[in-house]
Amino acid sequence: MSSSVLYDAPGPKARRRNRVLSALTTVLVLAGVAWLLWALGQERTTVNGAKLTGLWSPERWDFARDVVFWRRLLVDGLLMGTLRVAALAAILALVIGVVFSFLRTARQAWIRVPATIVLEFLRGMPILLMMLFILLALATEGYWAAVGALALYNGAIIGEALRAGLAALPKGQREAGLSLGLTPLRTRMLVEFPQAFRQMLPIIVAQLVVLLKDTSLAYVVAFPEILRISQQMRDSLGSTKVSFSVFLIVLVVYLSVNLALSWFARWVARRTGPQAIGARRRTTKRGGPQPRPSEGEPGTDTALISISGSAPSGMLGHHRRGD
């Protein structure tokens, strides 16, 4: 019987066919990339009859040997601009997302309904308009306009993801917390929310990658992030020939940072997924029997009862005692 649920495992012919198709696809993709690079390096003639050198011509890349260019791009643009906005906006977005997830799952309608309206408004409002609104209405700086807009929008997305994680938990988790004497709020915070956050962590990290890319919209509010710095350097060079070169370097920087964050998101997904948790449990079981803890030590029923401060009826009889 096949271990797959959706389809049977491919046979020898199917595996050979898949390998051949994969090899052909790889060759076609590499050939397309090579042709594109070759075409970009050829001389071109404009509509007015002027000839332009290829995009790989050395005269288009002379500026890259200047240390000042890299200092402004990586330090002023990336570190002090893009990453500074993204770091603070990510922290605030996580806080806002946690608050929204609790408000959206509240049992009281007078809390849940207004929170839903505000969340849907933030999710539906474009980030660019939110930045301009904060900049003009609150008369603040471009930095705070960018941070506020990114935090509110992505906080709403993260809040909805956490709400979905809470809704996907088995009802027995909440009933178990209540049976221990925990209040509904403490059950949500100590029992349900940690599980939901762990399940939604890959989605949250992926949304933070989107937040980092959206920092490029901050150039509209005159904040010197990496895209605006690159435009200023292109203008200072005084030649339109270097426009492609400058923006290609910015593209490589963006891709490097985003690919690193995407790799981190996949690593988190592997570490927190059901397969990783099951593997850790199997490793613990293979380690041999653990010594039985004495009464009152962590790991016994007494430790669980201490969370609520009181023991429900019938729980005291389940203490583990020495033989």
Who wins on pLDDT, 244 or 217?
A: 217
State the pLDDT at residue 88: 95
Residue 153 CA to residue 97 CA, distance in Å, equals 10
State the pLDDT at residue 298: 43
Residue 167 binned pLDDT confidence (cut-offs 50, 70, 90):
confident
Q: What is the mean pLDDT of residues 94-107?
A: 91
Residue 146 has pLDDT above 50, yes or no: yes
Residue 302 has pLDDT above 50, yes or no: no
Chain Cα centroid distance, residue 69: 30
Residue 163 CA to residue 185 CA, distance in Å, equals 15
Residue with tokens 């003639």: 45
CB 219 within 8 A of CB 227: yes
State the pLDDT at residue 322: 42
Q: Model confidence over 121-130: pLDDT tens digits?
A: 999 899 999 9
Pairing of strands 51-52, 44-45: antiparallel
Element (H, E) at 52: strand 51-52
Residue 131 binned pLDDT confidence (cut-offs 50, 70, 90):
very high
Where is mean pLDDT largest: 48-62, 93-107, 169-183? 93-107
Residue 138 CA to residue 144 CA, distance in Å, equals 10
Cβ atoms within 10 Å, residue 62: 13
Whole-number average pLDDT of the chain:
81
Residue 46 has pLDDT above 80, yes or no: no
Where is mean pLDDT largest: 16-20, 51-55, 194-198? 16-20
Residue 66 has pLDDT above 90, yes or no: no
State the pLDDT at residue 294: 44
Tell the burial category of 60 from Cβ atoms under 10 Å away from its Cβ (0-12, 13-18, 19+): buried
Q: What is the mean pLDDT of residues 314-321?
A: 40
State the pLDDT at residue 106: 86
Cβ atoms within 10 Å, residue 230: 22
Residue 149 CA to residue 152 CA, distance in Å, equals 5
> Cα-atom radius of gyration of the chain, to the nearest Å?
28
Residue 238 has pLDDT above 70, yes or no: yes
Burial 163-194 (b: 16+ CB within 10 A, else e): bebbeeeeeeebeebbebbbeeeebbeebbbe
Element (H, E) at 229: helix 226-237
171-180, 184-193, 285-294: least confident range: 285-294
Residue 150 CA to residue 12 CA, distance in Å, equals 50
Angle at 265 between CA 81 and CA 204, to 5 degrees: 75
Who wins on pLDDT, 58 or 312?
A: 58
CB 160 within 8 A of CB 104: yes
What domains are there in the chain, each with its CATH number?
62-277 (1.10.3720.10)
Q: Model confidence over 248-299: pLDDT tens digits?
A: 899 999 889 888 888 887 787 777 766 666 666 666 666 555 554 444 444 4
Who wins on pLDDT, 194 or 52?
A: 194
Who wins on pLDDT, 7 or 138?
A: 138
State the pLDDT at residue 21: 94
Residue 119 has pLDDT above 80, yes or no: yes
